[in-house]
Structure 1
Amino acid sequence: MGSPRIIMKLIVAGVHVEPGDVRVIELKHHRRPLLPAFEPGSHVDVHLPIGKVRQYSLCGDPEDLSRYTIAVKRENGGRGGSAWIHDQLTPGAELPVTAPRNHFPLKESDGPVLLLAGGIGITPIFAMARALWRQGKPFELHYFARSRSLAPLLGALEKTISSENLRLHLDDQVETRQDLEELLSTRPSGAQLYYCGPPGFMAAVALASEDWPDGTVNFEAFQPLVQDDTPPEPFMIVLRNGAVVSVPADKSALSAIRAAGVLLMASCENGVCGTCECGYLEGQPIHRDAVLPSNARSHRFIPCVSRATGVLKLDL
């Protein structure tokens, strides 16, 4: 069963504009000098006054706990959260924000680290690059954008890490372009890959890295990667106490579980944040999320978007 997450009331200490129609928001606690610690790759849930909850990666310095820094790109075709932040959020406003959690952690590794970011996907990658630079570990950050004028956080990034560790790939500069398939065709010994960006970029990196060994490719997505056009079919869920829950074709497993009286926390309800993650004991799930690593799909389940064939026994 899900448990409530700590929610803090934070004050917007600053807002500034970045290239690519991005707003950088600094959040502080109005009483406490230090916020809960976070690791590179962590995100927070931001509860907006319009009743929406959005997940944003922490792109600030994990060693500076006086503030949390998030970067929000305006998505005109989105669900309204980013537009409200861009149009309405001002310094001094108060926002409920959850304590950080991390589905995209840096792993302990002796080999080099390859960081790939596409546009606003630089947000979790920036924190990783900062940590690796500080630790003196070998890494390369490849930043893909249409142009310098559309690359958020690039100025801060260039001031933080060495130019020897940063590779820019700009569509408007032929000399900087590099094909992803060429870049990822050879894996350096012991290398780990981390990547984040918009759906097209994510799909291209996934394809280019499909021959890398299991456990060496790590990613965070802002949207589910798999667009399954197969019409949903009804299925059954069995809980630990033996209760049987019917999931109609037009309802999510999450909504059916909640209707059966099980308290299961959720946030994005889009398969990218992992808040509603639970275990499964038997059955054949149809994974439609963008958060579970491949080695977790044999026993973990994201009920807000994923479904199943026949009967699925959950560890709830």
Structure 2
Amino acid sequence: MSQPNAERLDVRLVQIRLEADDVASYEFRPIDVPMLPAFEAGAHIDLHLPENRVRSYSLLNDPHERHRYVIAVQREASGRGGSAWMHNTPRVGDRFTISAPLNDFPLNEQAKNSVFICGGIGITPVVSMIRRLERLGAKWQLHFAARHRARAAYAEELALLPESDNRVKLHLESDGARVDIRRLVSDAPAGTHFYCCGPRGMVDDFIASCADLPQEQVHFERFAAASDSATEGGFDIVLQKSGKRIPVQPGKTILDALLDQGVDVQYACCAGVCGTCRTGVVDGVPDHRDDFLTDEEKAGNTAVMVCCSGASSKTLVLDL
């Protein structure tokens, strides 16, 4: 998702609002310009936080709006502190630096029918997509999975849309409900475009259920890579510019080892999907665990996502 060289903008935080248990929304407005850059449904921004942290968040407001950007952040107990910082520290009036919007999860506005399947905080890009389709008068259906109603952000707002009883289906784990993705795909009319954003298991099920569809009709965005992070350790990282050798101990990722030694490296998702921590490989063989690099890039072994990948060789020399 993230692109380190994207244009940066200064914005002001004008509103924080609780949207569900452990989910808060943040509204940003421009400081020095009257309007923000236009964005398309499904787009995200990179939010620059203290300690060189960058986090990518989907824009959930109507793409028609140019006066504000709105994101939502779910507090993650097992995260690296970005979500906790967002929930505990910012105050209305604070100034932030963000990237211009980028879109790795675009909406096909010409589709005859669109079916959205999402879980938890994966609702955020879908809210923007639905708002866009409502403006176009296009057909859509939403299947939204959450642990319980209090954690289903934006469910009440979506329920206010016209014909929501027929278009919005809430699947609550507390009620024993589960999204039957395979049935949804098989029952949809020909030409339907399918979208999924959610946890790993849901996205994996979605991809398998859509395997027989034309690729252009299948769209998804992951929270985390399909593979577990490499934490086996047992190899060394060498920083080419200084020659410093850093052992990666069992239970640690490359990123953990670098940060423990005070190495300045940008990172965001810590899950192998955004690209922020992409680092050049000078020598050695990475154990790629990300979903960002293409198969060709992985085979070339010229870059590695240090947040989740490891090494198949005893030493990995990085362009740091």
Shift of 1:306: 5.9
Aligned match of 1:100:
101
Q: Is the 8 A contact 1:5 1:99 kept in 2?
A: yes
Q: Distance in 2 between matches of 1:21 and 1:266?
A: 23
**CA offset at residue 12 of structure 1?**
0.7
Whether 1:25 aligns to 2:14 is no
Look up the match of 1:73: 74
Question: What's 2:197 paired with?
Answer: 196
Which residue in 2 is equivalent to 1:119?
120
Q: TM-score, normalised by structure 1?
A: 0.76
Q: CA deviation at 1:48?
A: 1.3
Question: How many residues matched?
Answer: 301
Residue 185 of structure 1 deviates from its aligned partner by 3.8
Aligned to 1:169: 171
> CA offsets per residue over residues 186-209 of structure 1, 9 Å max, x none?
553112211111233323333333
Larger mean Cα displacement after TM superposition, 200-209 or 133-142: 200-209
Task: Give distance in 1, aligned partners of 2:214 and 2:12.
Answer: 44
Conserved? CA contact 1:180–1:205, under 8 Å: yes
Following superposition of structure 1 onto structure 2, how do residues 50-65 of structure 1 map, counting pairs within 5 Å?
A: 50-65=51-66
Q: Does 1:84 align with 2:85?
A: yes
Matches within 5 A, 1:1-316: 4-107=5-108, 109-160=110-161, 162-163=163-164, 164-173=166-175, 177-186=178-187, 188-227=189-228, 267-268=268-269, 270-275=271-276, 288-291=289-292, 297-298=295-296, 303-304=305-306
| Cα distance per residue 1:57-95 (max 9 Å; x no partner) | 101111111111000000111110111111111101111
SS of 2:117's equivalent in the other structure is strand
RMSD: 4.2
Q: 1:182 to 1:233 in 2, by over 3 A?
A: farther
CA–CA distance in structure 2, aligned partners of residues 291 and 162 of structure 1: 38
Q: 1:177 to 1:221 in 2, by over 3 A?
A: closer
Find the aligned partners of 2:180 and 2:51 in 1 and give their Cα distance.
41
Question: What's the offset of the Cα at 1:30?
Answer: 2.1
Return closer, same or farther for 1:287/1:158 CA change in 2, 3 Å cut-off: farther
Q: Deviations over 1:148-180 (max 9, x none)?
A: 222011122223464032222223346x65423
Contact 1:118–1:143 at 8 Å: present in 2 too? yes
Following superposition, the deviation at residue 116 of structure 1 comes to 0.8
Deviation of residue 4 (structure 1)? 2.7
CA shift in 2, pair 1:185/1:298, >3 Å:
farther
Question: Shift of residue 106 of structure 1?
Answer: 1.3
Q: For 1:74 and 1:170, how far apart are their aligned partners in 2?
A: 19
Alpha-carbon deviation of 1:98? Answer: 0.9
Shift of 1:216: 2.5
Q: Which amino acid aligns with 1:38?
A: F
Alpha-carbon displacement from aligned partner over 1:237-280 (angstroms, at most 9, x marks no partner): xxxxxxxxxxx995969x9xxxxxxxx986546422235779xx
The residue that corresponds to 2:242 in the other structure is none
Distance 2:123 2:158 in 1: 9
Looking at structure 2, the residues matched to 230 and 25 of structure 1 have their Cα atoms a distance apart, in angstroms, of 34
CA distance in structure 2 between the aligned counterparts of 1:165 and 1:299, rounded to whole angstroms = 41
Q: Per the alignment, in what secondary structure is the counterpart of residue 273 of structure 1? A: coil
For 2:78, the aligned partner's letter is: G
Q: Secondary structure at the match of 1:172?
A: helix
- TM-score, length-scaled by structure 2: 0.75
**Range moving further from structure 2, 95-104 or 134-143:** 134-143
Sort the Cα spacing of 1:66 and 1:230 in 2 relative to 1 into closer, same or farther, 3 A: closer
Change (3 A) 1:109 1:288: farther
